[in-house]
Amino acid sequence: MQIVSLFVNYSIYDSRELVILCCWIPLFTLPYLITKKKFIYRIAVTALFMGGFINLCHLLILKGPITASSLFVLLNTNISEAKEFMELKSSFLMLLIIPYIFLFIVAIKNIKPVKIYPKSKYIIATILIFSVTFLSESLIHGNLVRKGTPQTTKALISFATEIKSYNALKKRKVANVEAKHKATHLEQHLFVLIIGESCNRSHMSLYNYSKETNPKLKKRDDIIVYSNVVSPFSNTIGSVLSTLTESNLENKMAFDRSISLIDVFHSLDFKTFWLSNQSPIGIWDNATFNLAQTSDISIFVNNHGNTSFESTYLSSYDERLFQPFCTALNASTMNKFIVIHLMGSHSSYSKRYPSEYNKFTDYSTKKEKIINEYDNSILYNDFIVDSLLNILESHCLKNSKSICSCIYLSDHGENVYDENDNVGHDYSGSIPKSNVEIPFIVWLSSGYKKLYSNKEQTILSNKDLPFVSDDLFHCVIDLNDIDYKAYAKTRSVFNQEFNFERTRMLEDNMDYDLK
């Protein structure tokens, strides 16, 4: 594994992984030395082989070691999906599996008889003492899993921990908190949060991309475009849950024990809606689905796939959310909080847009074809976000006294051969910037601007400040003029007291600005 990483992706070469394996191998083979039973030897060799084989395949396909996220995807993959995925990721490097299997066969067949010579006892004792000391030191300091276990084992343990967290979220109900709306007027208050998917702002002409992928949004003069926002995670679960709750990468609060925006708005007697084109089915979407279920009304329009992973290979265009959105806007209730969760630019990119948005078609390589498909999905997403804003604007014009605001942001970015010659939002070593650089757009109704003119000016003046979307919880509370004890004005980019010097430390302790 480590030899191959030197050639495939040097940045993930880990000499410590070799030390860890050298500590565990003696402990695995000790029972054979004592019993001299060949079946015990074969069990030990097979266990070590399987761990290395899984990690090696993952390295050759995704250019990185296996993680808990990989296991989530694996559980939701069938043969046809695996075939399509392999077509995207496969290469001649997969042939490196052959010598690895050959070495395993040799190790299983050619079992050396156990002979412990007097002098070798000291060598064996020295090796065992080193192994036990190394692993005991990690155990005593409480970091055996993080520093003393092989990568595959670490991923399995992390996966089990996440499953436990998801099970806790299943039991979560909407919470009542002590929150108060500062506004004393009787006008309708409406806030809409549009959550995009896998949108890398570097592929948006709104952010100066060379291709015209945002013809509609660029024409708008009523949006405030934030230029320096990043997501805390490069995956949907971590990003969406940290966006919607008071949990962030600094307080590290468990999602199932964190207060959410749905809780806050529910406590203010807002009608809460969750409208989604993401699939509700599948273990890797459970956490988001469970949070969505705490809304008064949750609608999932994408039920094409048997699993959440399968749904990404089927077409369910985001325009299917237009009608549910109109219905939610026209609901008779006074105040509303509406979350719209798009499918956006989720892979497979060619499934994210109808044929009329197949604008970028010139290519000479497979890589250029994939980039074109991604850019077409961004073009379609431009139509979707612009249309949602038009629907909202029309509603506000009909209800002239309503106080309306909207935020659009993506859950995370997407690396489409922007860095490391890779596609997707998987990563190894340091997170590519393209995985976390996201669009962030604010829209305010005329009624909002009139009532909160000072707030509008602050929102406009702060549009280029550095921000991490795990603090969106505080921004939304600030934007909607809510009094809540956990709100911190220094964490809201819409506030004059916003702390723009916060270190943007993302998942895996990556300092975004330092990189």
pLDDT higher than threshold 60 for residue 339:
yes
pLDDT higher than threshold 90 for residue 266:
yes
> Each residue of 153-180: pLDDT tens digit?
877 777 777 677 667 667 778 999 999 9
> Each residue of 133-157: pLDDT tens digit?
888 877 877 667 767 788 778 777 7
| Confidence (pLDDT) at 235 | 81
In this predicted structure, which of 23-32, 72-81, 191-200, 365-374 has the lowest mean pLDDT?
72-81
Beta bridge partners of 254: none
| Confidence (pLDDT) at 70 | 61
How does strand 271-276 pair with strand 336-341? Answer: parallel
Residues 495, 418 contacting (CB under 8 angstroms)? no
Of the CA atoms within 13 Å of residue 511, those in its CB half-sphere come to 6
Q: Which range has the top average pLDDT, 7-16, 219-228, 327-336?
A: 219-228
| Confidence (pLDDT) at 500 | 95
Q: Rg of the chain's alpha carbons, rounded to an integer?
A: 26
325's tokens? 């959105």
| Confidence (pLDDT) at 229 | 98
In this predicted structure, which of 134-143, 156-165, 390-399, 438-447 has the lowest mean pLDDT?
156-165
Average pLDDT over residues 491-510: 92
Question: Which secondary structure element, helix H or strand E, spans residue 298, and what is its range?
Answer: strand 297-300
14's tokens? 């880990």
DSSP type of residue 305: S
CA dist 10 and 179 (Å) reads: 51
| Confidence (pLDDT) at 401 | 81
Q: Which residue has the higher pLDDT, 284 or 151?
A: 151
| Confidence (pLDDT) at 495 | 97
Structural domain boundaries of the chain?
Answer: 2-166, 188-511
Beta bridge partners of 133: none
- pLDDT averaged over the chain? 86
Q: Which residue has the higher pLDDT, 113 or 90?
A: 113
CA dist 93 and 8 (Å) reads: 8
What top-level class would CATH report for the domain 188-511?
alpha beta
In this predicted structure, which of 10-24, 449-463, 466-480 has the lowest mean pLDDT?
10-24
> Each residue of 313-331: pLDDT tens digit?
457 899 999 999 999 999 9
What residue type is assigned to position 278 of the chain?
Q
Question: What phi, psi does 182 have (nearest 5°)?
Answer: -70, -30
